[in-house]
Amino acid sequence: MQDDVAKILITSDDLRQRTLELARQIEADYQDRDLVLVCVLKGAIMFLVDLIKELQRPLEIDFMAVSSYGASTRSTGVVRLTKDLDMSIEGRHVLVVEDIIDSGRTLQYLTDVLNLRQPASLRICTLLDKRERREVDVPVDYVGFVIPNEFVIGYGLDFDEVYRNLPFVGVLKPEMYTGE
């Protein structure tokens, strides 16, 4: 698995440090407002777990799943909700926790769906931002790292469902997905 990694982009130490900083910022911003974290499956699981361990305040978590990719490294632009929240978010302060924003289409779809449910507020926290690939403009409130236009894996992120358990964010060797 490690042999398929061209280079490590973000180390475990960097991830830990930045997650801590984001947690402090979120604590300060939400103070005593009630907070629901919505984790977007599956890519954001590692980030969610590490983030909530650092958040020293009451919070609730729920999960949503969307699919847009299949076994490709490019977005199809078609987003489908495959798992909905279990709880109502009406009147709640919602923070969406995402792994990566690429074209922005997944996030645009998600924010449209969630806003219809009338949360008290809706903000976005993403671990990674591939800013140069953005096709639709979606406001992002918390960003872990802005990364270049390379296909990354690890720390929750997959290629064809594999590599999510790597403890760092790495660039996949291009020969692993050429020929698709």
Task: Indicate the length of the chain as a whole number.
Answer: 180
Establish whether the linkage from the previous residue to 53 is cis, with ω within 30° of 0: no
Alpha-carbon distance values, 101 to 54, 84, 109, 156 (Å): 23, 20, 12, 14
The interface with Mg ion within residues 106-165 (CB under 5 A) comprises: none
Is 112 marked active-site?
A: no
Q: Which of 26, 157, 166, 176 binds ligand IMP (CB under 6 A)?
A: 157
Q: Which of 9, 37, 48, 101 binds ligand IMP (CB under 6 A)?
A: 101
Q: Which of 15, 95, 102, 168 binds ligand IMP (CB under 6 A)?
A: 102
Q: Decide if residue 68 touches ligand IMP (CB under 6 A).
A: yes
Q: Which residue in 50, 99, 102, 158 is the catalytic one? A: 102
Q: Which is nearer to ligand IMP, 4 or 29 (CB)?
A: 4
**Binders of Mg ion: how many residues, by CB under 5 A?**
2
When CB distances are held under 5 to 8 angstroms depending on the partner's kind, the choice from Mg ion, ligand IMP, none that residue 119 binds is none
Closest approach of Cβ 92 to Mg ion, in Å? 26
Candidate ranges 6-14, 28-36, 67-75, 113-121; the one touching Mg ion (CB under 5 A): 67-75
For CA atoms 173, 10, 75, 68, give the dihedral sign.
positive
Residue 81 sits at the vertex; the CA angle it makes with 72 and 152, to the nearest 5 degrees, is: 35
Alpha-carbon distance values, 150 to 9, 10, 92 (Å): 10, 13, 36
Q: Decide if residue 124 touches ligand IMP (CB under 6 A).
A: no
How far apart are the C-alpha atoms of 68 and 86, rounded to whole Å? 21
Q: Name the 3-class secondary structure at 115.
A: helix
Residue 154 sits at the vertex; the CA angle it makes with 122 and 53, to the nearest 5 degrees, is: 50
Q: Which is nearer to ligand IMP, 46 or 100 (CB)?
A: 100
Catalytic residues: 102
Give the binding site for ligand IMP (CB under 6 A). Answer: 43, 68-69, 75, 99-107, 151-153, 157
